[in-house]
Structure 1
Amino acid sequence: MLRTEQRTTSWKLIGPGIVVAATGVGAGDMVASLVAGEKFGYALLWAVVLGCIVKIALAEAAGRWHLATEQTIFDGWRSMGVWTFAFFGPYIVIWGFVYGASAMSATALPLAALFPSVPLWVFAILAGISGLVFVWFNQYAVFEKVMTALVGVMFVTVVGLAVYIGPDFGALAAGLVPSSPDESLFNTLGLIGGVGGTITMAAYGFWVNAKGWRNAAWIRMMRLDNRVAYITTGVFVVAMLIVGAEMLSAGRVALAEGSEGLVSLADVLEERFGRIVSVVFLIGFFSAAYTSIIGVWHGVSLMFADFVGNIRGKANRPVEERETSWEFRAYLLWLTFPPMLLLAVGKPVQLVIAYGVLGSAFMPFLAFTLMWLLNSQRTPQEWRNGIVSNVGLTIAGGLFLVLCANEILGRLGVT
């Protein structure tokens, strides 16, 4: 493939990276950061920074594959053998079923805290259906604008809260030096692995294409977009770490488990600073959770449409065609309505185990398959991995293998 003339980079074009980073950072990442701050103060700040670097390497590789080869990740996986599709097929079906319920519940929590007279399940169902309607009737351009606006809200509210509380700058600087406090191993790994990292990392290439970036001329722009996005995400996560360290660790306040911990934090904020600060935080919490709904509803549905299209011999359809395809809309419905059953009856143990195992295995799968593809003749010589990319993907793959093993053992009750 001949070298393509590079496009001029422009801050005004940044967008897909913000979308993928915001989608990946949800209530779970907020809680993980708070808990790390609560337990260890600023000592694990370095892990947040390393996590951002790992995600930059992964997202850059996914975007570069789409642009350098002008193919999607599924074209690459198909070229590696049927085993890749045999893994991904069950994964995306089970993942969507369980994730839909989790995302709707997390988005409903701050709304229920703001309006306690309304049952939680009502807000959960409204969150899912509103996400469905929005994505069904809008294509990428409008979707990106709404996501960017929500990111602005979550960034201003949470970072503003951290500034308002006032960090200990000396401890903050000391936290950049790698350390390992007692019993901090899996909190550390979770922070590194959880800074905006889910199946949506693989969706980045699809959003890059949806932006109109279709070939190698856009790689420089994609790299700027990716770095800005994950640096922004890193600042957001650091802000949550500061809140945990200053509000919870200093005050010896224990969080409730799961996303409910964020509601507990809102109660602590109200007691200390008043209702207005608490409400502002809950709005930021809602924005972070709702970006995960509409981001997944759009991005993973695009992936599903391409996955099925590859199986049916309809690969490389324009993004605009995928956004209106029956496969795209079928997965939208799958994310929205079947998970509502889980809101009512809870999650069956076997399903939760399968979800945890497949989900934890996806990130090492993504890292190592991207290494394989981007070091092979499938990628034009000038855009193959260099030392930095290979080191980044190796660290990412190894880290996620450790997290995968821990998740599997935990699900099986071994740890």
Structure 2
Amino acid sequence: MTPTTQTDTGNAPGTAGQKPPRRSSWRSIGPGIVVAATGVGAGDLVATLIAGSKFGYTLMWAAVIGCLVKIALAETTGRWHLATGRTLFDGWRSLGSWTTVYFAVYVVIWGFVYGATAMSSSALPLVALFPGFLDLKVWAVLTGLLGLAFVWFNRYAVFEKLMTVLVGIMFVVVVYLAVRVGPDRGSAFAGLVPALPDGSLLYTLGLVGGVGGTITMAAYGYWVNAKGWKDSSWMKVMRLDNRTAYITTGIFVVAMLIVGAELLNAANVALTEGDKGLLDLGRVLEAKFGGPTAKLFLVGFFAASFSSLIGVWHGVSLMFADFVERWRAARADAATETGAEKVAAGETEKSWPFRAYLLWLTFPPISLLFLDQPFALVVGYGVLGAFFMPFLALTLLWLLNSKRTPQQWRNGPLSNVMLAAAGLLFVVLCVQQVRELPW
């Protein structure tokens, strides 16, 4: 990564207009916790569990490499925002109008389908915790409305505090389960040596590229600005924050691999694909360790799902609001305050595009809860989603090696290698995801 050469000075961080601390401080972190909580959802945990149940500890090395790839990718996102004072969408627009067209189509279709998915995922553990109380669809609608109200009436500081609490719950529950099932430390360390058992290639690629890798990685720079960090003097703090986020994510992944290897692999238990697989795990935990452990796990399941819901409600709405602002300014051929400054000042969270996208994520998707998802919509969602991570990795590689970025903060050799590797990985995953769609 490009080394930080600037000496940071000033007071405690956290509010726009304040100066960064003299040294990077654990008390300064925040956006990284938000991106970790948002990026790791129930589906990611199931995918990791299935990898552990099928291959034991053999793919532990892939989880570690995946953590390093995400650190590199998120670091470049944050570095772009801080080094240039411009948002990521500003950078995309400078690459040509094709980026605007892609993002506009993507954010509309993706938000419509993801809204229903996030609400259903948050409702599943509530149905299991309170059997017979409310129907799944009713719980789903209530979680969506709760997320809408929370993001609508609160600003970033309160949002970050809640996300920190949810991450704490997720962390305690997942690590507790890993300790409770009794990890085989010798096998776990042996799993750090790269190996590819028969039939493991796609699971390996998924572990490296999938967990914690969504549009929320692009939102990281916006959360950095919302925290009040808006220039290169915050670079050291951002890097500590980012590493903390993805080391935390790596611990989640390793812990779930341990649970899959010890609890499911030995017993030859198969999980249902998707979020419902966590309900299967809840039943296995209840049979082996009793009801309290199973209920604790369901609380962690809800924390993982609901943190992803409100994280997307907030982060992608920031991106959409910036997209609309840049598009309107371009059409009017007018100079405007930079998106990073508006986000840092809290103005974006009050804007009508931010709130309009919040409503889009909440109300239209409710219809999908009561209907089968239209075939064409499923295919469109799958194709656009598969292309997003290659789009992010390769455009960052372009932006951070060009004159758009100040010389001091352009990519070094390590950043270029990591971004190029990430881009290639995501292209392979993209092809595989498109091939698996129900054409």
Matches within 5 A, 1:225-240: 225-240=241-256
How far is the alpha carbon of 1:412 from its aligned partner?
A: 4.8
After superposition, residues 209-248 of structure 1 pair within 5 angstroms as 209-248=225-264
Residue equivalent to 2:112: 97
Match of 2:163 in 1: 147
Match for residue 296 of structure 1 among 300, 306, 312: 312
What does residue range 140-179 of structure 1 map to in structure 2 within 5 Å?
140-179=156-195
Matched, 1:185 2:188: no
The corresponding residue for 1:342 is: 368
CA distance, structure 1, for counterparts of residue 27 and residue 350 of structure 2: 27
Deviations along 1:387-412, one digit per CA (max 9) or x if unpaired, are 11001100110000000001111115
Are residue 121 (structure 1) and residue 137 (structure 2) matched?
yes
Quick one: which amino acid aligns to residue 239 of structure 2? R
Q: Secondary structure at the match of 1:318?
A: helix
* Matched residue SS, 2:131: coil
CA separation of 1:4/1:309 partners in 2, compared to 1, >3 Å: closer, same or farther? farther
Tell whether the 8 Å contact from 1:136 to 1:329 is kept in structure 2 after alignment. yes
Which residue of 2 is the match for residue 17 of structure 1?
32
Q: Do the aligned residues in 2 keep the contact of 1:48 with 1:191 (CA within 8 Å)? A: yes
Report the more deviating stretch, 312-321 or 142-151: 312-321
Aligned to 2:124: 109
Q: Is 2:399 the partner of 1:383?
A: no
1:42 aligns with 2:68: no
Residue 312 of structure 2 is aligned to residue 286 of structure 1: no
CA distance in 1, matches of 2:248, 2:37: 9
Deviation at 1:311, TM superposition (A): 0.4
Q: 1-side partners of 2:276 and 2:88: how far apart? A: 36
How big is the shift at 1:195?
2.1
| Count, aligned residues | 411
Alignment RMSD (CA, Å): 1.0
Counterpart residue identity of residue 83, structure 1: W
Measure how far apart 1:237 and its partner are. 1.1
Query: How far apart, in 2, do the equivalents of 1:354 and 1:5 lie?
Result: 47
Query: 2:352 is aligned with what amino acid?
Result: W
SS at match of 1:178: coil
Give the Cα–Cα distance (whole angstroms) in 2 for the partners of residues 225 and 306 of structure 1.
23
Aligned residues with identical type, % of pairs: 65
In the other structure, the counterpart of 1:312 is 328
Amino acid at match of 1:86: V
Alignment of 1:323 onto 2:346 = no
In 2, Cα distance between the equivalents of 1:349 and 1:178? Answer: 39
| Alignment gaps of 5+ in structure 2 | 9-19, 330-335
Letter in 2 for 1:21: A
Partners of 1:284 and 1:328 lie apart in 2 by: 29
2:196 counterpart SS class: coil
Q: How many Å separate the matches in 2 of 1:274 and 1:304?
A: 45
Residue 42 of structure 1, CA deviation: 0.5
Letter in 1 for 2:350: T
Query: Matches of 1:21 and 1:59 in 2, distance apart?
Result: 11
Q: 1:168 & 1:397 partners in 2: Cα distance? A: 34
Aligned-partner residue type, residue 210 of structure 1: A
CA distance in 2, matches of 1:256, 1:202: 30
CA distance in 1, matches of 2:61, 2:193: 6
Amino acid at match of 2:342: P
Give the aligned partner of residue 399 of structure 2.
373
2:130 counterpart letter in structure 1: F
* CA–CA distance in structure 2, aligned partners of residues 194 and 159 of structure 1: 20
- Equivalent AA in structure 2 for residue 393 of structure 1: L
Paired position in structure 1 for 2:14: none
Q: CA deviation at 1:5?
A: 4.1
Alignment match, 1:78: 93
Structure 1, 211-220 or 403-412: larger mean CA deviation: 403-412
The answer to whether the 8 A contact 1:106-1:259 is kept is yes
**CA–CA distance in 1 between the matches of 2:266 and 2:225?**
46
Give yes or no for contact 1:131–1:294 (8 Å, CA) kept in 2. yes
- Distance in 2 of aligned mates of 1:307 and 1:403: 27
Q: Deviations over 1:194-228 (max 9, x none)?
A: 22010010000000001110100001110010001
Match of 1:62 in 2: 77
- CA deviations on 1:241-296 (whole Å, 9 max, x unpaired) are 11111111111111122111100110110011100000000000100001100000
Q: CA deviation at 1:4?
A: 5.6
Match of 2:382 among 340, 347, 356: 356
Report the Cα offset of residue 79 of structure 1: 0.9
CA distance in 2, matches of 1:346, 1:25: 26
Could you tell me how far apart the structure 2 residues matched to 1:352 and 1:192 are? Answer: 25
**8 Å contact from structure 1 (residues 195, 234) kept in 2:** no
The equivalent of 1:132 in structure 2 is 148
Q: State how far apart, in whole Å, the 1-side matches of 2:39 and 2:431 are.
A: 21
Task: Give the distance between the partners of 2:390 and 2:273, measured in 1 at CA.
Answer: 27
Task: State the TM-score, normalizing by the size of structure 2.
Answer: 0.92
Normalising by structure 1, report the TM-score. 0.98
Which residue type is aligned with residue 278 of structure 1?
A
Q: Residue 12 of structure 2 corresponds to which residue in structure 1?
A: none
What displacement does 1:149 show? 0.4
